[in-house]
Every structure is written in C-alpha cells, then in structure tokens.
Amino acid sequence: MNLSQEIVERFSDYLDAARAAGEIEPTAMTIATRALNDGVSARTVLLKEFDERGFVFYTNLESNKGRQLAEDTAAALVFHWKAIQKQVLVEGRVERVSDEQADAYFASRPRGSQLGAWASKQSRALGSRAELLKRVVATEARYIGRKVPRPPHWSGFRVLPEMVEFWDGKNSRLHDRFRYTAGPEGWSRQRLFP
C-alpha cells in the first residue's frame, strides 16, 4: 500500500530540516534484518530514493544484508537526527527494485564507487587492505576507456512500509510520537505516550 500524503510530507519535512540543520549524513538510516542464525542484524546504509512507494537503498546482494533479505524480507529502518531531535521508525517488507532502476542509479555513481562495487566481496574476510586495492586496480584496468556496467550482484531494495512512527523530541522527555499503521481501509494514525 502506498504511503499517505501526510506521511510523505511529514518525512520530507523531517529530512529537509535535518539537511538545513547541517546533519553530516541526513540520509543515513539503520536497517535491521533477521540474521541467518535467527538473530537480528543491523547496520547503517544511505537512503537513495523516497516516494509514496517506500524507501530505497542499494547494496551488494552477496553481502550479509543482501543474503538476509533474500531469505526473509522483513526489515526495519531507523532515521535519527540528533541536531533536530527527530526520529523516524519504519517497519515493513522489502522488494528488489527493477533492473532498469538499479542500472540508472548505478550509472549515476562516481566511477570509483562503480569500480568498488566490482572489486569488493562485501562482508567477506579480507587479508589486507593491499589485497582490496589490488582488486580495485585490476578492475580499473578491465574497464579503461569504457563505462562500468552494474555488477549482477549489485542492486537495490525498496522497503514497503507497514508501520511508520514519527518521534519529535521535547523538553522533560515529554516527546511527541505518532504511529501510522497500514490497514485494509488505508493508513490509520495514533498518538503514543512518550
């Protein structure tokens, strides 16, 4: 179900305020997934696209998060902007973006990042930094004078929200919290105790 206009506008307002306040990485978000050993795994990624359909990030599909999301599509995101005392929690499921969308985003990345996507065996053990740099040099040599294509193991995920909670920090820890939940009739909103 697409996000309501109210949710889209509120998230956009929070993100704009974080940018205006000088947050170093305003699009940084923690994503939690179910680990393959039935535990929970979390890491920080960057939001690359956002609209009424959800929140998009890109990754190596052979990374821990890529393999975990292939196994179980449940995910949670947390955006926390300390400078403006705001936070957004998103819970839902993921879907892969289309190859066309992944290709377009990959083509927009700096060449060094494109080469790194080929050279890095993300989340696997690495003997030394020199080994990584050697792989980058070899990848660079392979694509001299040519565009770097998107690797087949690199794509994006869209988090399809089922719940979105907005937290607005206030004095005396009397924060404002609003939870939006997707249901058969659309999105409902509840105010929560802090």
Q: Could you list the active site residues?
A: 173
| Residue 59, domain member (yes or no) | yes
| Residue 95, domain member (yes or no) | yes
Total structural domains within the chain: 1
* Collapsed DSSP state (helix, strand, coil) of residue 6: helix
How confident is the model at residue 186, as a pLDDT?
96
How confident is the model at residue 38, as a pLDDT?
84
CB 161 within 8 A of CB 92: yes
| Residue 115, domain member (yes or no) | no
> Domain containing 35 — which CATH number?
2.30.110.10
Mean pLDDT by 10 residues, the chain (194 residues): 96 98 98 92 98 98 95 98 98 98 97 94 89 92 95 98 98 95 97 97
Distance CA 135, CA 120 (A): 8
**pTM here?**
0.93
| Residue 129, domain member (yes or no) | no
| Residue 145, domain member (yes or no) | no
Distance CA 96, CA 194 (A): 34
In terms of residue numbers, what domain contains 48?
5-109+151-192
**Burial (CB count within 10 angstroms: exposed 0-12, middle 13-18, buried 19+), residue 184:** exposed
